[in-house]
Amino acid sequence: MCEFVSWIEYKGDIYFLDKHKLGSRRGRELKEHDNNQENWQGHGAICWFYGIERKDCIQREITDFSDPCELPPVIVDAIKNGDFECFMPDDVSKLLTCPALAEHKKIEGQAWAEYKKIEGPALAEYKKIEGPAWAEYKKIEGPAWAEYEKIRKYTFWKIFSDPDKRADNWR
């Protein structure tokens, strides 16, 4: 699986997916083509969206955000603009100041606790009843996970949108 942030280089241009592209008609088609959100940030989805053969492009990704100079400027601008709010960096510690990171962790922790509060009983019910409960578990767990992810992503990008809360090299 590809990591955030992934892009491809093709004929001298940089291609990536962001909230705007995923919200377009072609983006909705991509979501129908592959309903696994984790795949939407990857090279396969980028190539599918733009109609580019994977063998014809250079696939790039970076997960260490300590130096924005390691990224193409167009992606740095998209990050600063919050255009990737549909994705979540694995390590946000290089993107936020220490107080902002603490704020994010606090809200993320609350969302995680809420998720666990919902997920625990659903999983226990599944283990008790097995087959029929699995459908019930998935019905409950899916929306709970989606809400957790929504809060987690929104919180990060909301905090990151304030340049004063960004790590120095991301201002």
Give per-residue pLDDT as tens, 122-134: 888 878 778 777 7
Helix (H, G, I), strand (E, B) or coil at 21: helix
Token representation of residue 38: 């984790």
Place of tokens 């625990």: 120
| pLDDT for res 130 | 80
Taking every pair of C-alpha atoms in the chain, what is the biggest distance, in angstroms? 57
Gap between the Cα atoms of 40 and 29, Å rounded: 12
Both tokens of 131, joined, read: 């087959």
Strand partners, 13: 10
29 token code pair? 């088609």
pLDDT of residue 127: 80
Give the pLDDT score at 91: 87
pLDDT tops 90 at residue 32: yes
pLDDT, residue 107, reads: 95
* Confidence label for 57 from pLDDT (cuts 50, 70 and 90): very high
Q: What is the pLDDT of residue 153?
A: 94
Omega within 30 of 0 (cis) for the link into 5: yes
What is the pTM (predicted TM-score) of this model?
Answer: 0.73
**Dist. CA 105–CA 109, nearest whole Å:** 6
* Confidence class for position 1, pLDDT limits 50, 70, 90: low
Which tokens is 166 given?
């960004």
Q: Coil, helix or strand for 166?
A: strand
Whether residue 136 is predicted with pLDDT greater than 90 in this model: the reply is no
Per the CB < 8 A criterion, the answer to whether 49 and 26 are in contact is yes
- CB atoms inside a 10 Å sphere around CB 47: 19
β partners of residue 6: 61
